[in-house]
Amino acid sequence: MNGSGSVESFILVINSGSSSLKFALYHSLNMHRQWSGQITGIATPHGLMELTDSHQRVHLCDEAIYRNQEDAALAIISWISNNHKFCEIAGIGYRIVQGGKYHRKPELITDALLSELAELIYLAPDHLPDELRLIRKFREEFPKTPHFACFDTFFHQDMPEHIKNYPLPEKFRNQGLVRYGFHGLSYEYVLQKLDKECSGIHQKKMIIAHLGIGSSMTSVSDCKGFDTTMGISPLGGMMMSTRSGDLDPGAILFILKNNDITVEELEVILSRQSGLKAISGIADLQEIIKYAGEDAKSKLALDMFCYQAVKSIGALAAGMGGLDMLIFTGGIGEHSSLIREQICTGLAFMGIRLDRSLNHQSNRIISHRDSGVNVRIIPTNEEWMIASHTKNLLQTQNLSCRKSQKKL
Ligand SMILES: Nc1ncnc2c1ncn2[C@@H]1O[C@H](COP(=O)(O)OP(=O)(O)O)[C@@H](O)[C@H]1O
Ligand SMILES: CC(=O)OP(=O)(O)O
Ligand SMILES: [Mg+2]
């Protein structure tokens, strides 16, 4: 309850990524973030729940064992019921990585939607199973609250036909084998933020590099997603912590022909045993950077990651016919000056020049004043974007309720 005695109303956001479970509580009226938190180390002996208040003060940093996502969900539910007993949860919004051909726009979660998403698990096996488990758990606990799905693919829905399609027989395209693109909630947030800090973004050709455990890049023209590095699944594009990224299709055939493995085993190899981990033995880029001075494998992994980033930016810029602005986001993009420097050094031929000191300080703008391309850092906030979609859907739902009441 607030000071005036009325019940406070919140939007709860659940963002389940490949490596963590992030959550946040936003006031439904003014969209202020009251709490944010994350649970990491799920299914390891080193589970950790962290909670931060609206003033960025850390309130909780509790070690515990979370056997699975359900355990993590229960911890969030118990924290809400202990600390927000007298509050209303007006709606719950979830990040859903892949909704296939028919689900891109944010929408109300129904039993039918959950069944359809369960059929798409093979397209995002590292994300969808946990996302679905979490939704089921929260629906059980909050049966009267509307729950909403916010898809990572929505942002990319306007990709032009010549970019969206794979050169494969029509039969497969009709089955939904097209390029979807991911990290869309992050890109949408970054663009909204950029619009507030910079004028005329509609005229700018931009690339946003979301570099984290999962990494992708997108080119943006006229404020719309034009092209992106990931395709039908979050396995594609650049190499990542444990994902291979794009491969010659011959490489997949090679593995299958030379090894007695099932498709499921191949899936695990491509998603959990490849990328940086396959090259250096370490999945975490921050760790790799520590060892790169003396360990050749770590140095190789680092160089491969940066080379692929340079190549992706070059290709995306060529596809768009130029580049005015490059934006770094995601855990690596926001925090690693070394990675940003190595990538931008490789792009000097395009007129990109960093200001070393601004880059070192992780300033908002990090390009040199003589740079041909403006280079920025914008910390992403997928949770805010999910809350914003949830609020919009709650409003339209209320409107349609009122309309149908009127009819009666
Ligand atoms: N200072 C840093 N230098 C290099 N990598 C960093 C740094 N800080 C965070 N990272 C990396 O960011 C990644 C996490 O990114 P994040 O976007 O938060 O993850 P997720 O993809 O799970 O949302 C980890 O690989 C971590 O090592
Ligand atoms: C789409 C994707 O790769 O997501 P994440 O970064 O959460 O793994
Ligand atoms: Mg992420």
- Determine the atom of ligand 1 nearest the C-alpha atom of 17: 22
Protein residues with C-beta less than 5 angstroms from the ion ligand 3? 17, 212
pLDDT averaged over consecutive 10-residue blocks of the chain (408 residues)?
68 86 94 93 90 86 86 90 82 97 96 97 92 95 96 97 97 95 98 94 96 97 97 97 98 97 96 97 97 97 98 98 98 98 98 98 97 98 98 83 44
Cα 1 to ligand 3 centroid, rounded to whole Å: 33
Question: What is the full DSSP assignment across 315-383?
Answer: HHHHHHT--SEEEEEHHHHHH-HHHHHHHHHTTGGGT--B-HHHHHTT-SB-B-TT-SSEEEE----HH
pLDDT at 273: 98
Give, using CA atoms, the residue closest to atom 3 of ligand 2: 214
Residue appearing with tokens 């798409």: 120
**372's tokens:** 């041909």
pLDDT at 405: 47
Rg (C-alpha) for the chain, rounded Å, is 22
Question: What is the full DSSP assignment across 349-365?
Answer: GGT--B-HHHHHTT-SB
Backbone angles phi, psi at 170, to 5 degrees: -55, -35
17 lines ligand 2 (CB under 6 A): yes
Query: Where does ligand 1 bind, in terms of residues with CB under 6 Å?
Result: 17, 19-20, 212-214, 241, 284-286, 289, 330-332, 335-336
- Determine the atom of ligand 1 nearest the C-alpha atom of 335: 1
Ligand minimally distant from the alpha carbon of residue 231: 2
Alpha-carbon span 109 to 350, nearest angstrom:
45
pLDDT at 18: 67
Please tell me whether the interface predicted TM-score (ipTM) of this complex is above 0.90.
Answer: yes
Long-range contacts (CB closer than 8 Å, 24 or more residues apart) made by 188-195: 188/154, 188/155, 188/385, 189/380, 189/381, 189/382, 189/384, 189/385, 190/327, 190/329, 190/378, 190/380, 191/220, 191/223, 192/385, 193/378, 193/381, 194/327, 194/376, 194/378, 195/223
Question: What is the full DSSP assignment across 178-212?
Answer: S-----HHHHHHHHHHHHHHSS-GGG--EEEEEES
Cα 361 to ligand 1 centroid, rounded to whole Å: 17
pLDDT at 400: 55
pLDDT at 407: 39
pLDDT at 2: 53
pLDDT at 313: 98
Residue appearing with tokens 């984290």: 212
Q: In what order do the strands lie in the sheet with 374-377?
A: 224-228, 215-221, 206-211, 325-329, 374-377
Backbone angles phi, psi at 268, to 5 degrees: -65, -40
β partners of residue 23:
14, 37
pLDDT at 399: 57
Instruction: Catalytic residue, from 62, 152, 222, 284: name it.
Output: 152
pLDDT at 57: 86
Exposed/middle/buried for residue 334 (C-beta within 10 Å: 0-12, 13-18, 19+): middle
Handedness of CA 65, 66, 67, 71 (dihedral sign): positive
Q: Is-contact 208 329, C-beta < 8 A?
A: yes
Cα 19 to ligand 2 centroid, rounded to whole Å: 8
181 lines ligand 2 (CB under 6 A): no
Binding residues, by number, are 15, 22, 95, 210-214, 331-335, 382
* Residue 363 amino acid letter: N
Cα 305 to ligand 1 centroid, rounded to whole Å: 14
Strand pairing category for 374-377 and 325-329? parallel
Ligand minimally distant from the alpha carbon of residue 341: 1
For 284, the 3-state DSSP assignment is: coil
Q: Is 152 a catalytic residue?
A: yes
Give, using CA atoms, the residue closest to atom 5 of ligand 2: 214
Give, using CA atoms, the residue closest to atom 9 of ligand 1: 331
- Determine the atom of ligand 1 nearest the C-alpha atom of 211: 17
Of 335, 337, 342, 380, the one to substitute when testing ligand 1's pocket (max ligand atoms within 8 A of C-beta) is 335
Alpha-carbon span 364 to 242, nearest angstrom:
29
Per residue in 140-162, pLDDT (tens digit) is: 999 999 999 999 999 999 999 99
Set out the domains of the chain in order of their start, with CATH numbers. 9-151+383-407 (3.30.420.40), 199-377 (3.30.420.40)
Residue appearing with tokens 């609250």: 145
Alpha-carbon span 90 to 55, nearest angstrom:
23
Q: At what angle do helices 184-197 and 382-407 cross, to 10 degrees?
A: 100
Cα 281 to ligand 1 centroid, rounded to whole Å: 17
